Amino acid sequence: MEITSKLPRVGTTIFATMTALANAQGAINLSQGFPDFDVDPELVSRVGHYMRRGHNQYAPMQGVLPLRERIAEMVAACHGRQYDPESEITITAGATEAIFAAICAVVRPGDEVIIVEPAYDSYAPAVQLNGGIPVYVAMRYPDYRIDWDRLAEALSNRTRLVVLNSPHNPSGAVFDDRDMAALQRITHGSDVLILSDEVYEHIIFDGRPHESMAKYPPLAQRSFVVGSFGKMYHATGWKTGYCLAPRELTAELRRVHQFLVYAANTPIQYAYADYLADSSTYLELAGFYQRKRDRFLAMLAGSRFKPLACCGTYFIMLDFSAISDENDVDFARRLTIEHKVAAIPPSVFYHRRDDHRVLRFCFAKKDQTLEQAAERLCRI
């Protein structure tokens, strides 16, 4: 039987590839973005509590109401915008499902979708699977800022959606108020929609605020805003996210969501609802991860790697040009095999494989893990 692939240029994701290589080589895995420390025992206990109470069947398609209510309270407190828990908040099976559902809901064959590179690797395949045409706009290197004039030039009468990500994976860049003003200017008077990937919204450093689309009414009214409990609560394997959007956009997203997964995990949703009631569980994340960032950077001070600015997320980019003239994919493989530290080569996040000879390292790890990794990196 001959099968014509719908994604002929897509192979196994780089995260699976580098994690498999790290496991095979016994390397420290700073590639895939997951913590190696445990979830809070209290949160685990709440999941067990709801399992024992019999909450083991399907949740409502849109998500359990207590969790949607807690999300509405969090967003109102953090960004000053009121989302209706009934009609504007949807619980999804991870942020990636929310992203796919949003793209599937609004992108039709022939629609153009602007993707800012380097870009998380699920965006373009989701666009292509729905018949859309990715239009790529590269961030400036090395500060990873968006050239908004260039993005404006990429807009056309066929542009349906702009996909944005802040705090930005893989670079760690963060939008500021100038970015939001520029985005409002170039979308004013248009029918362009926004998909805003904000899964690291509570992991921003040095006292900087998170500039969410939810914070700006002209942007909120045209935006799907995606969040992740996996990133907030160190539970990436639980695959629970959410999407905020105006009523009309939410209705379209839910039409798709119900046929992708129908509903997310029931006892985990109830547990998150309890846990989210204490705002310190997410407001203290920035300080927690900033201490890890600063500790990792201090341990790398004697290495030949040059760190780039990291304002958010739990990733940092390290320039290896003083060490090797290899491309980033080859150097990442050699680093894993010979030096037993795995990282992500960011060229895979560009459609033309732009290579700046940097690697992305995850510092959402135990201090002991970071110390061992830094010791190995400093010996190179």
Go through the domains of the chain in sequence order and give each one's CATH number. Answer: 14-32+284-378 (3.90.1150.10), 57-278 (3.40.640.10)
Task: Give the strands of the sheet with 223-228, arranged side by side.
Answer: 89-92, 241-244, 223-228, 193-197, 159-165, 112-117, 133-138
> What is residue 241's three-state secondary structure?
strand
**pLDDT per position in the chain (380 positions), as tens?**
888 999 988 888 999 999 999 999 999 999 999 999 999 999 999 999 999 999 999 999 999 999 999 999 999 999 999 999 999 999 999 999 999 999 999 999 999 999 999 999 999 999 999 999 999 999 999 999 999 999 999 999 999 999 999 999 999 999 999 999 999 999 999 999 999 999 999 999 999 999 999 999 999 999 999 999 999 999 999 999 999 999 999 999 999 999 999 999 999 999 999 999 999 999 999 999 999 999 999 999 999 999 999 999 999 999 999 999 999 999 999 999 999 999 999 999 999 999 999 999 999 999 999 999 999 999 99
> Are 86 and 74 in contact, with CB atoms under 8 Å apart?
no
Q: How far apart are CA 373 and CA 340, in angstroms?
A: 8
How far are the Cα atoms of 92, 113, 192, 238, 249 from residue 217, in angstroms, in the given order? 24, 22, 15, 32, 15
The helix, strand and coil proportions of the chain, stated in percent and rounded to the nearest 5, come to 45, 15, 40
pTM to 2 decimals? 0.97
pLDDT given for residue 88 in this prediction: 99
How confident is the model at residue 174, as a pLDDT? Answer: 98
Q: Peptide bond preceding 217: is omega within 30 degrees of 0, i.e. cis? A: no
**What's the start-to-end Cα distance of the chain, in Å?**
50
